[in-house]
Structures are given as structure tokens and as C-alpha cells.
Amino acid sequence: MHRSRYPTLLLCTALALSAQAQDTTSQKTLLGERVTREEFGAFQSHLARLTSPTGESDPPDAMSKVSRWYQPAQYMRGHGLEPASRAQLQKALARTRELVMRNAYEQLQLEASFAPLLNLEGVTPEVRILSLKDGQGRPVSFTPRPSSPIEGGRLLSSLVLAQDTGTKGFPTWSGSAEVVLSVPSGHARVRFDAKDAGQTKSGFTLLAWGARVQLRYTPVPGQDITFLAHADNGLALAPIKTSRLPLAEWELARKVSTMKWEDVPEQVDAPEEEGPVVLTWDYSAPPARLDVFVPGKPVKYTVKMKLVPAAEDSHPEPPDETAVAPRWCGLDAPALTQALRVEASRARGDAFGTPVLFVQLPACDEGAFSEVQFNDVKFLTAAGEALSEVQLREEGFQHASFSVPVSFGPAQSTSSTDASFRRLARVRGDVQVRWPRVRVVELTPVASRSEGVRATFAGKKLTLEQDMAMGAKLLASVGGTPDWLRENPLVTDAEGRILLGERGRTTEGKTSTKQEYLFDVPPVRVRLLYASEVLHVTVPFDVTFPPPPELRDSIH
């Protein structure tokens, strides 16, 4: 993302704009920035880009256009993107029954892990210690301290112990507590899409819709509103960048962006006033819809917990990851061929502006097990001259975008900034994709057998026996994928949490193989992914890279 030379637009003090002022100076203070006459044009472009409904000034600004070159749409999945229902919240809270105590000199640190739900994020818990006793059953004196807001499901609090408290027998301490959480009773959903541009719903006004979405509303103190955009494939869409401006400042920035230097006073500060704000999100492509979740009145939940001492050398574990349901599409060869495409773009970061390809796969989790190969590739200059000293560098499957980035480098051990390499403007050839159709097998203690595979659940041990033919079809992911997709077999406990155990004994037979897995808690379900069929699809491509941007600022 482009880092503006004018990052402090939001931090200004109050003063009204006077259009009648006459200027004789060469430098002015505009919206918190010292701007010279020579810089004024660039500053106005910045303001126009910041407030425009499209993200581009007139004529279109190069940086706002290339901001969508860097990568295809990035998707978000998992728990915690949308507020959980009241029933889901109660079930999640019931899973946490231990408040871990850590001996930290003259105080105790208290920790607990909740499910990373959006409902709990930022909530400040009230920790009430009901009892605290040492190993001899004697009460321990303490002074409670305020708790920190919950982040990522992690509760942190502390107790200050009396100075004469001995902690020699700390591992035998015990006690009980209750955690009071003030959580919204529910969330009202307000939905927008393209046809709602200019409309107001429940106090939210949609100002612009497209690759840039703008929304105006008046914040309510203590009310945390969630905004979540979705793509047309139903997945949550991550923005490239976001901004938040008070409406008065946003309108003032728009006004300054159209004024002449001579008409602008020597100092223009944004008014200090609370009220409506304008939210802006920039995306790689227009979303299909935007959901606004407005929290209701808070309701108090009380969670009873047991105080448990932690070992001195132990470290807090992150909340257990819960398995997410994969998105299987079951495409056939024609549908896969139609969905595949190769897009030309430009790199960001240290290699900003250099050419890069994206092999865009369907938004399906089968892509995590697919293979991409290029054939008969030709590297050409803008004039059509062939470049023989360029080679492809595939960067692996990217699960967030369902794509495979491909960068370029010199075939010889020379710098990628050589003039010959920099002349690359066009690439053509064929991309071949090996795409599996997935067969999902789930086994439990009740249903422990399926065709070619059997499971034995014995306490904390799981034994899988696979026929040789089935074992050969077991899928292995490529590139970066989350645990709930990469782990194959995937083992979960009774709460659906992913168990990452250790491999035990392997027994090779004439027609099958047995593999033992050992876990800290009893597994209750195992999922295995097999290839029922493998599709081979070849798609020709001929793409031209966008011209490199003139601006070379760092992209973040």
C-alpha cells in the first residue's frame, strides 16, 4: 500500500476556512502539513485520492490504479469474522473452565483462553476471586488489579500478593473464581450492495460502491460496529487499505483539493467536532455486499472457573484452532478450464514495479492440492522481441487468494535489474493445472470404517489402517495452507478443536499400512482427504504487463 507523504491528515486542530484570504507566502500549513507552492499540486492530488468515491483523482492517479495490480482479491475465513449467536457464545464460554495462575514474584498473573469470537474482542472482563488457598488450605491475601481487554480470545489479569506471602508451595495452591463479561445481547445486520449507493439504512449512508466503498454514519460511544464485505463467491473480502475521517474534515479536504493556491489561507485546520465520520475501504475488486453488524444492549455472562497453578517453565498456549469446513467445488474439466486465468501484474515491496504473473485458480479448496506447470513460455519486449535470458520463479499456492504468484528472474546469475530483464513486457504460453476431485472420509468411534480405511479409537491413541491403494490417493497440500486444510489426516476432539499429536508406531503389511497417532486428549473424529479423480487441464495465455508506475515509494 502506498505510504502518503501526508500521513497526518487526521490530526488537526479547529479553525474555520476563509475563502477570502489572500496569499503572498510560499509555504502554508494545510490540514496539519507544511506545504509549499511547488508541493501544492501533489498535496491536492493526495486529498482528491483520499476523498474520491473511486480512489482516483482526475485524471486517474497512477498509484491508485496500480494498488490493484499487486495481488488478486484476498479472502478471509474462519471463526470470529461475524458475531456469534447467543447460543454459540454460551457454548463457547462453557468450554473455558480454568483460570491459570502464574507466580510472578509478588503477584499472580491470571490467564484464560476463550474461543476467538468477535463478540468477546475488546471486552474488559471483571475477574472475581471467590477463594484462594495455599497448599495447607489457608487463605491467601491479595489485592485484585484491573483486567486487560480480551484480545484474540486471551484473558489477562493479575493479583498483588501481600508482602509476607510465601510461595514455596505454589504448585499446590487452589481456588475458584468467576469472570463477568458484559457482551452485546445480539447484533442487528444492515446489508448493502451496489444498488444501494446513495441510500440510507438504519443511520448508515452508502456514499460510493465499487472497488472503493464509502459509508457515512455517526459513531455511538461504547458501541463497536463491525463491517464485513463479501465477494461474489460468498467469502469475506479483505481490503487493500482503509481510512476513517470525520465528515467535517472529509468535506474540508475535498474543498481544498479544488482550490487555487492563491485562494487558500496561510493556515487551514480541520474543525474539532464529534459527529459523523466517513469510512473508506479499497478492494482489489468490487465486493458483492457489505454487512454492518450493530451490537445491541449489553448482557452480563458469568463464567465459573477453577484456579489452577501453572508450572514455572510452562508458557501460555494460544487458543486451540477450530476446524473450518472446507469449500469443495467438485468441478469438472470444462468448468475448471473456464475458471482458470492468468493475470499480469507488478510486484510490491522490495521488488516494487517488477513484472509478476498470477495464476488465478477457482475459489475452491481443491486448489491447495493442485499443481501448476508452464509450458512453451515466450518472454517478449513491448516491440515483440524475444528474451531468452528470463526464467519463471513460481512462489507456491496462496490460500488467501486462491492463486499461484509467479515472478521472473534472469536465467543467468545476474542482477534482475539488468536492462534486458527490465524490458520484459509480455508473456505467452500454456499453463497446465493438475486438479484433484476430493473424496472426504470422516471416521468416528461409532462409524470407524469406510472403503479402504479403518480407524481404532483407544483413549488418547488413534490407529489408522489404510489399504495400499487408498494410501496412494491420500492428498498432500502444496504452498501455504492453514492447519484445518493442510493436516491430512485431520484429527479433532469433542469440541471440534484440531489436535496436533505425535506419530507413533508404523506397521507395514502386505496389503495395508497401520499408523498410530498419540494425543494429549482423546480424539473423537478423523477426516481424511483422498483424490477420487485427477483432472489435467491446459489453458493458453497471452498477457501484457501494465506499464510500471513512475512513483517508487514503498508499498505496504
Given the C-alpha cell 513484472, which residue does it identify?
Answer: 355
502 and 365 co-located in one domain: no
* Number of domains the chain contains: 3
Cis status, amide bond into 489, omega within 30 of 0: yes
DSSP state of 89: H
Q: 152-178 burial, b if ≥16 CB within 10 A, otherwise e? A: ebbbbbbbebeeeeebeebeebbbebe
Helices (H), 280-359: 333-339
Closest listed residue to residue 306, CA positions, set 503, 525, 158, 132: 132
Q: Is residue 494 part of a domain?
A: yes
CA 410, CA 418: separation in Å to the nearest integer?
8
pLDDT tens per residue, range 273-284: 789 999 999 998
392 and 521 co-located in one domain: no
365 and 514 co-located in one domain: no
511 and 521 co-located in one domain: yes
379 and 496 co-located in one domain: no
Q: Is residue 81 part of a domain?
A: no
537: CB partners within 8 A, 6+ apart: 333, 336, 337, 340, 432, 433, 435
486 and 359 co-located in one domain: no
Q: Is residue 316 part of a domain?
A: no
349 and 404 co-located in one domain: yes
451 and 504 co-located in one domain: yes
Nine cell digits for residue 189? 445486520
Q: Is residue 347 part of a domain?
A: yes
Cis status, amide bond into 522, omega within 30 of 0: no
Q: Is residue 369 part of a domain?
A: yes
380 and 495 co-located in one domain: no
Q: Is residue 313 part of a domain?
A: no
pLDDT tens per residue, range 338-390: 999 999 988 776 777 788 899 999 999 999 999 999 999 999 988 889 888 77
Q: Is residue 1 part of a domain?
A: yes
Final residue belonging to a domain, choices 39, 59, 79: 59
**Is there a contact between 207 and 215 (Cβ–Cβ < 8 Å)?**
yes
497 and 467 co-located in one domain: yes
pLDDT digits (tens), the chain, 556 positions: 333 444 333 333 333 334 334 444 689 999 888 999 999 998 998 898 889 898 776 666 655 666 676 778 899 987 789 999 888 899 889 889 999 999 887 889 999 988 888 999 889 999 999 999 998 999 999 999 999 999 988 999 999 999 888 888 899 999 999 999 999 988 999 999 999 999 999 999 999 999 999 999 999 988 889 999 999 999 999 998 899 999 999 999 999 999 999 999 999 888 777 899 999 999 988 999 999 999 999 999 999 999 999 875 555 555 556 778 899 999 999 999 999 999 998 877 677 778 889 999 999 999 999 999 999 999 998 888 988 877 888 888 999 999 999 988 777 655 545 555 678 889 999 999 999 999 999 999 999 999 999 999 999 999 999 999 999 999 999 877 888 889 999 999 987 889 988 999 999 988 999 999 999 999 999 999 999 999 999 999 999 988 776 544 433 3
Final residue belonging to a domain, choices 25, 59, 93: 59
DSSP state of 195: G
Q: Is residue 342 part of a domain?
A: yes
CA 40, CA 53: separation in Å to the nearest integer?
21
530 and 485 co-located in one domain: yes
525: CB partners within 8 A, 6+ apart: 442, 443, 444, 491, 492
464 and 545 co-located in one domain: no
**Is there a contact between 361 and 433 (Cβ–Cβ < 8 Å)?**
yes
* Number of neighbouring beta carbons within 10 Å of residue 352: 17
Domain extent at residue 425: 333-432+539-551
